[in-house]
Amino acid sequence: MLEDSELQAGRRELSFFGTITASVTHELNNVLSIVEQVAGLLEDMLAAQESGYPVKPEKLARIHERITRQTKRGVGIIKSLNSFAHGTDEPVSEFDLNHIVGNIITLSTRFAELKKVRLESEYTAEEVKITGDPFLLQQAVFSGFQFLLEDAKKDDTIVVTVSQHENGSAAQVQIKGPAHEKSNRDEPRIEFLNYLTAELGGTFTMNGSEDHRETLTLYFPLNKFA
């Protein structure tokens, strides 16, 4: 029988997977709705053409551009979800930290947009190869992002930065955003971040600053098993 802690971790992983999947399906539904509306407009234009009212080429060009843009958007969303889902294939694999963090940030954009918060990211010029669990790492980054998003207000900015640690044997992900009020700290989420980073062989720190910003730093060894 699984220990309570293992059951809780499993439920959190399933909840995380469901949260991301539900958000992506909303995005895909938006894409399809826009394509459907544009297709209806095109149908009206064709009906007008058959009735003797010529359609201007520039109008058709605009419709073509909108369909193409939404198609590319849909393909990008599906590609990101596919990469996210494959993160569960193996509990241990080698991956580029830039790619893994970039993917979960892409999938998190909608959560920021719903609160009218800007979500920005910065990556290293070179690949940062890590051997570990890509799914847990994405869960850790997303949990840190959610922690800062909770107190974010309209027009706030959350910045996620990937960098190589100066000691050369680790990498770090910094998530900087609005500071939480002490009375409004989500202690369970902080504990969960500590748990996730520990499972990945790393550590987690949280620091405030004079500009009323808060920085969460997640440290990960390049190879937990070295």
Give the integer Cα–Cα distance in Å for 209 and 165: 21
CA dihedral (218, 103, 150, 192) positive or negative? negative
Residue 55: domain span: 4-86
Q: What's the pLDDT at 1? A: 38
Among 67, 86, 105, the domain boundary falls at 86
Are 98 and 81 in the same domain? Answer: no
Give the CATH number, domain containing residue 15. 1.10.287
Give the integer Cα–Cα distance in Å for 220 and 15: 23
Q: What's the pLDDT at 181? A: 64
59 falls within a domain = yes
Are 39 and 99 in the same domain? Answer: no
Give the CA distances from residue 32 to residues 37, 38, 43, 122, in Å, rounded to whole numbers and listed in that order.
9, 10, 16, 30
64 falls within a domain = yes
Task: Decide: helix, strand or coil at residue 14.
Answer: helix
Give the integer Cα–Cα distance in Å for 133 and 87: 8
- What is the DSSP track for 139-184? HHHHHHHHHHHTT--TT-EEEEEEEE-TTSSEEEEEEEEEPPPGGG
pLDDT, tens digit only, all 226 positions of the chain? 345 566 777 788 889 999 999 999 999 999 999 999 999 998 888 888 888 888 888 888 899 899 999 999 999 999 999 999 998 888 899 999 999 999 999 999 999 999 999 999 999 989 999 999 999 999 999 999 999 998 899 999 999 999 987 767 889 999 999 876 654 556 777 888 888 999 999 999 988 765 668 899 999 999 876 6
Among 86, 105, 130, the domain boundary falls at 86
Are 101 and 125 in the same domain? Answer: yes
How big is the chain by its Cα radius of gyration, in Å? 22
125 falls within a domain = yes
Give the integer Cα–Cα distance in Å for 54 and 123: 50
226 falls within a domain = no
CA proximity to 156, closest of 175, 136, 182: 175
Task: Name the pTM for this structure.
Answer: 0.86
Are 102 and 156 in the same domain? Answer: yes
